[in-house]
Amino acid sequence: MPERLLIAPTDLRTADPTIANDIYAGRFVFAGEVVDVAGFSVFEIEAPSRAWAERLHSFGWLRHLRASDLAVSRSNARALLDEWIRFQKSHDPIARDPDVMARRILSWLAQTPLVLEGCDHGFYRRFMRSLTKQVRHLRRVARDVRPGMPRLRVMMALAAAGLSLSDQPRLVRQASRWLDHELARQILPDGGHVGRNPGTVLEILVDLLPLRQAFTARGQQPSPALLGAIDRMMPMLRFFRHGDGSFAKFNGMGETQLGLLATVLAYDDARGAPGKNAPYAGYQRLDAGDTVMLVDTGPPPRPVLSLEAHAGCLSFEMSSGRQPLIVNCGVPGPGATALRRMARTTAAHSTVTLNDSSSCRFLKGTYLADKLGEAILSGPTRVDVSRQDNRSETVLIAAHDGYVARFGIRHERKLVLSAYGDRIDGVDSFTTPSGNTIARGGRDAFALRFHLHPAVEATRFDNGRGVFLALPDGSAWQFETPELEVLLEESIRLSDIRGSRRTDQIVVYGRALHQASVEWILHRVVEPGGRMRNHDDPGDDLPLGA
């Protein structure tokens, strides 16, 4: 057993000292559920949900006790950790899940100043014995952990343990080699993650940046693979941001932890403008003036990495200034299985659905789904993308084949953002894979959806050809289409933190046989503060069909 701990890796995660009071009172709030232990050990009770148990046994909540900076918090932390060690043989199996174990090791290492300062020798020995036992177990199972973020987190935890514990040169070498291998497999050349969730990039950097510091603190040079992964990922934090600082909601992305994002961005030495194109991750960013558009232009990840991925190919989100306007529905909190399934469908995204179906097929309702998760079985295999940036506009054209096998229809979307960011021209087209028009007799009903942020007030035009969109900052936009009726229908904004909120969606229905393409525009008609646009304003355009 290692004799001592040499360093404590930095914990970059945001801490709330007021939560320490709840924990001291025996009130544990995780994953939206509250448990009052009322004199019992929290590690003896039956967990209300898997998500709650994962949070409990991961020990991320130790940082809140440390943030309170009180002696009672230190003793409370030691008592709870000692209880966990004492009851570990009767723990929920979730506590032994490798991903949960990796989180716990990282938390224990980072919070050693909290739990070990002023402790007695007996506690120190029990702590070190338990920590060493967990590290050894994780080392044995590391290569068999589920691919993706769980396996990468295990490798980061092992590397952090090797650097923090005394006399572990072999573990450091082995864990570093495994970590480099996983970073090469999971971090794409453009800095995106193979799972395609924008938030995963932030999640990895939160643990990888302290690991880089730990190598330096031990007088060792971090590997080129580790340094290169950080350098590639940091610009992606800016790539996925809207005007309000939040990440676009694609492929399982929930609410953005803005405080944590700001902390990680402070480590970005370059601080350059965000990139425009992430071809390996499968995203495009269009920005002009104060308008930002983020577009999903990639196929789904392979099944083993797709448990949180969505069927949102060619969907986009758009913000004007600090106000999100066009959005995807987002994701609900833990345990909301039905809502989570709905959130992954194409209809929950601002794009086209054909015949009320998704562009991907999900594994669900089977023994395999219960065992392995609801992976994506099939979806777009080819997404063609072309882009032109010039002084007057940015033109993005993308097409996917997610509906070809079932309906013989290829969806193409053209987006044109003006140089001033005050107008977006869109065309959604439907052709056969060879580029011909749709033949008779096929299933060709489409719905073109634009989900609106709850803060947007939408009013439908009397003629049914458009919608007036009022934003909280006093500005306003108009959505119009010249040939088809524009409807306003109910939608939902899902959140893993704030809960669900009602909102609206703009919907245009049609038949691809009769309407091979749908033209639409979205343009600003009132500036922030309520100033009306006039024809002398740069970039001003008449409404479509005026």
pLDDT tens digits for 232-251? 999 999 999 999 999 999 99
If pLDDT is split at 50, 70 and 90, which confidence band does 498 have?
Answer: confident
Alpha carbon distance 225, 175 (integer Å): 13
User: 82: left (phi > 0), else alpha (psi -120 to 50), else beta?
Assistant: alpha
Average pLDDT over residues 326-354: 94
Q: Are 79 and 131 in contact (CB under 8 A)?
A: no
364-373 own/partner pairs: CB under 8 Å, 24+ apart: 373/307
Alpha carbon distance 523, 475 (integer Å): 11
Alpha carbon distance 280, 299 (integer Å): 10
Q: Where are the beta strands (DSSP E) in 184-313?
A: 277-278, 283-288, 291-296
Average pLDDT over residues 14-29: 92
How is residue 154 written in tokens? 């295990």
Smallest Cα–Cα separation from 11: which of 78, 100, 106, 75?
106
Per the prediction, the chain carries an average pLDDT of 92
pLDDT of residue 334: 85
Alpha carbon distance 245, 176 (integer Å): 33
Q: Tell me: pLDDT of 544 over 50.
A: no
Q: Is 338 exposed, middle or buried (0-12, 13-18, 19+ CB in 10 A)?
A: exposed
pLDDT of residue 53: 94
pLDDT of residue 129: 95
User: 409: left (phi > 0), else alpha (psi -120 to 50), else beta?
Assistant: beta
pLDDT above 90: percentage of residues in the chain = 82
Q: Any idea which residue has 């570990």 for tokens? A: 88
Q: Are 214 and 112 in contact (CB under 8 A)?
A: no
Q: Are 25 and 122 in contact (CB under 8 A)?
A: no
Distances (CA, A) of 205 to 10, 57, 174, 199, 455: 12, 22, 21, 10, 31
pLDDT of residue 270: 73
CA-based max dimension of the chain: 82
pLDDT tens digits for range 101-137? 999 999 999 999 999 988 999 999 999 999 999 999 9
First-to-last alpha carbon distance for the chain, in angstroms, is 79
Q: Tell me: pLDDT of 94 over 80.
A: yes
Q: Are 545 and 480 in contact (CB under 8 A)?
A: yes
Spacing of C-alpha 347 from chain mean position:
19
How is residue 479 written in tokens? 């959505």
Q: Are 350 and 315 in contact (CB under 8 A)?
A: yes
pLDDT of residue 327: 98
pLDDT of residue 367: 66
Q: Tell me: pLDDT of 165 over 70.
A: yes
Got the DSSP string for 474-519? S-EEEEE-SSS--EEEEEEE--TTT--EEEEEEEEEEETTT-SEEE
pLDDT of residue 244: 95
Q: Are 99 and 154 in contact (CB under 8 A)?
A: yes
3-class SS of residue 532: strand
If pLDDT is split at 50, 70 and 90, which confidence band does 370 have?
Answer: low
Q: Tell me: pLDDT of 542 over 50.
A: no
Alpha carbon distance 52, 164 (integer Å): 28
Alpha carbon distance 517, 519 (integer Å): 7
pLDDT tens digits for range 175-232? 999 999 999 999 999 999 999 999 999 999 999 999 999 999 999 999 999 999 999 9
Alpha carbon distance 466, 449 (integer Å): 13
pLDDT of residue 40: 83
pLDDT of residue 271: 75
Q: Tell me: pLDDT of 148 over 50.
A: yes
How is residue 246 written in tokens? 């939040």
Q: Tell me: pLDDT of 397 over 90.
A: yes
The 10 Å Cβ neighbour count of residue 532 is 9
Got the DSSP string for 432-463? -TTSPPPPTTS--EEEEEEEEPTT-EEEE-TT
Helix 121-141 with 169-186: angle, nearest 10 deg: 50
Q: Are 510 and 518 in contact (CB under 8 A)?
A: yes
If pLDDT is split at 50, 70 and 90, which confidence band does 440 have?
Answer: low
How is residue 119 written in tokens? 């402790």
pTM for this model (two decimals): 0.93
Alpha carbon distance 421, 442 (integer Å): 38
pLDDT of residue 533: 64
User: 21: left (phi > 0), else alpha (psi -120 to 50), else beta?
Assistant: alpha
Distances (CA, A) of 410 to 25, 212, 348, 415, 418: 58, 46, 20, 17, 26
Q: Tell me: pLDDT of 428 over 50.
A: yes
User: At 377, which helix (H) or strand (E)?
Assistant: strand 376-378
